[in-house]
Structure 1
Amino acid sequence: MKSYKARGVVLHTVKYGDSSLVVYLLTDLLGRQNYLVQGVRSVRGKGNKGAFFQPMFLVEFEGLEPPRGQMHRMKEVRMPVPLSSLPFDVRKSTISLFMAEVLYRLIREVEPNSSLFDFVAGAVVALDSLEEGVSNFHLWFLVRLSAFLGFYPGNEYLPGGWFDIREGLFSPVMPQHRLMLSPEHAEILHRMMTCDVKELGDVRLARGQRSDFLNAMLTYFGYHLDSIHRVQSIPILRDVF
């Protein structure tokens, strides 16, 4: 088998047989790729490699490319960036579960996309180190992710205006088709577009505002990608935030 070294972000896992996992990764080298990882669930196995494959964990590994289009395999996996708070903070772990499922549902490309990978990997590190504004992180992530999915807002924010979902543009008047974000949500969208992740604590949103803006963003995503509605972690996210 041909071997290669790559980095990945864990999106999803499925049990396979008695001791193995099928791991779905977003990788820097091959885009989205599936891997068969053997022996990670065996009590007699060496170490506890299964702990590496939690939602949004970063891994470095040696991959094995089999002939005839069979599933790739993985060995010598390690965590290049130890996560200090994400696995233990219920707010952050809930967000990471949501992020992983959104990417698992929406990203299908097997071609490498270094910009997307760097954004996602950087978002994991940023969430892990974030101290203030954690409750806004999933909103920031969705807004920024839209740039890599092809429907990031296409013009400058207009204070007091609306956001036209069909056109992907801020508008000074309410669109007649009414598929839009209200002026309040358009302003929050603008703040998420321009706010550095370290400044999320300065974005003061009440729980109701946060929930309503999430609904607005799901409508925006759903207009372009219907698969967003299959994200099952959304109710959990609403319960926590």
Structure 2
Amino acid sequence: MLHRTRGIVLSYIKYKETSIIVRIFTEAFGMQSYIVNSVRSAKSRGKMALYQPLGLLDLVVYHKNGKDLQRISEAKFSYAYSSIPFNPVKTGIGIFLTEMLSKTLREESENEELYDFVHQAMVIFDHMETNVINFHLQFLMKCTGYLGFEPQSAEGFIEELKENGVHFSTLETERAIISALMNKSFGEEIILTSQLRRDVLSHIIKFYQIHVSGLNEIKSLEVLKEVLS
């Protein structure tokens, strides 16, 4: 049966000579894997652009419950990025967030509110011209509310990390920063040194690791550090 849904591309792997298997977080069905045939052939030039990580798509898909691999009937951009693929800082942040989403959402079922948040956040990020370098911190803190483990306050965030062995060298400063990340809108100025930004990110990742089983090494952290240095 055919269904219409929006989707956010997270990753793909090559399959056979001209096909791919793409993982997409969909609005209607949560995380799904789709096989897309002949998309890497010479005749399909340009179609691979649809399946780059973080692509925002309108889809018509075949869906059968319990099936590991679904199929896509139609795909087109619901929104085409104008800056994320061409701005090195935004690209690096995008690579990092793609990995975090891939590892966090792997067991996520249908969650339209979460989908709407991620979709709208990516559109906002694409339009942002200032205060870009803290977007990933705000995104991860705000996303906890849709994933089911939002701290009730910055104090609650810090206390939970303390209980799990995290030491804070700049406690009051980090408490104020976490509060700002949770409560300020995307793009509002939050002043951070490079070292403090790294420390806060490390603590946010630890918070995710407490709540998401199997969230271990984040390989794209080195890319992120490079573009934000």
Give the TM-score, by structure 1 length. 0.86
The residue number in structure 1 matching 2:174 is 185
Offset of residue 214 of structure 1: 0.8
The residue number in structure 1 matching 2:225 is 238
The residue number in structure 2 matching 1:33 is 32
- Give per-residue Cα distances to partners, 1:189-223, cap 9 Å, x unaligned: 10001110031xx2111111111111111222222
- Residue number among 223, 226, 230 corresponding to 2:210 in the alignment: 223
CA distance in 1, matches of 2:63, 2:16: 21
CA separation of 1:177/1:50 partners in 2, compared to 1, >3 Å: closer, same or farther? Answer: closer
Contact 2:125–2:132 at 8 Å: present in 1 too?
yes
1:32-111 equivalences in 2 (<5 Å): 32-45=31-44, 47-65=45-63, 69=67, 71-109=69-107, 111=109
Structure 2: unaligned runs, 5 residues or longer: none
**Corresponding residue SS for 1:84:** coil
Q: Which runs of 4+ in 1 moved over 3 A?
A: 175-181
Contact 1:36–1:72 at 8 Å: present in 2 too?
yes
Offset of residue 30 of structure 1: 0.3
CA distance in 1, matches of 2:145, 2:108: 18
What's the Cα RMSD here? 2.2
**Corresponding residue SS for 1:198:** coil
CA distance in 2, matches of 1:15, 1:226: 27
- How many residues align? The count is 226
**Corresponding residue SS for 2:12:** strand
1:198-213 equivalences in 2 (<5 Å): 198-199=187-188, 202-213=189-200
Q: Which amino acid aligns with 1:163?
A: I
CA distance in 1, matches of 2:3, 2:114: 20
Identity %: 29
CA distance in 1, matches of 2:65, 2:157: 53
Which is higher, the Rg of structure 1 or of structure 2?
1
Contact 2:4–2:61 at 8 Å: present in 1 too?
yes
The residue number in structure 1 matching 2:186 is 197
The residue number in structure 1 matching 2:201 is 214
Offset of residue 63 of structure 1: 0.6
The residue number in structure 2 matching 1:169 is none
Higher helix content, 1 or 2: 2
CA distance in 1, matches of 2:53, 2:107: 19
Q: Which amino acid aligns with 2:63?
A: E
Contact 1:106–1:227 at 8 Å: present in 2 too?
no
Contact 2:89–2:227 at 8 Å: present in 1 too?
yes
Contact 1:9–1:27 at 8 Å: present in 2 too?
yes
1:155-174 equivalences in 2 (<5 Å): 155=153, 157=154, 163-165=158-160
CA separation of 1:180/1:67 partners in 2, compared to 1, >3 Å: closer, same or farther? Answer: closer
Give the TM-score, by structure 2 length. 0.90
**Corresponding residue SS for 2:115:** helix
Contact 2:132–2:187 at 8 Å: present in 1 too?
no
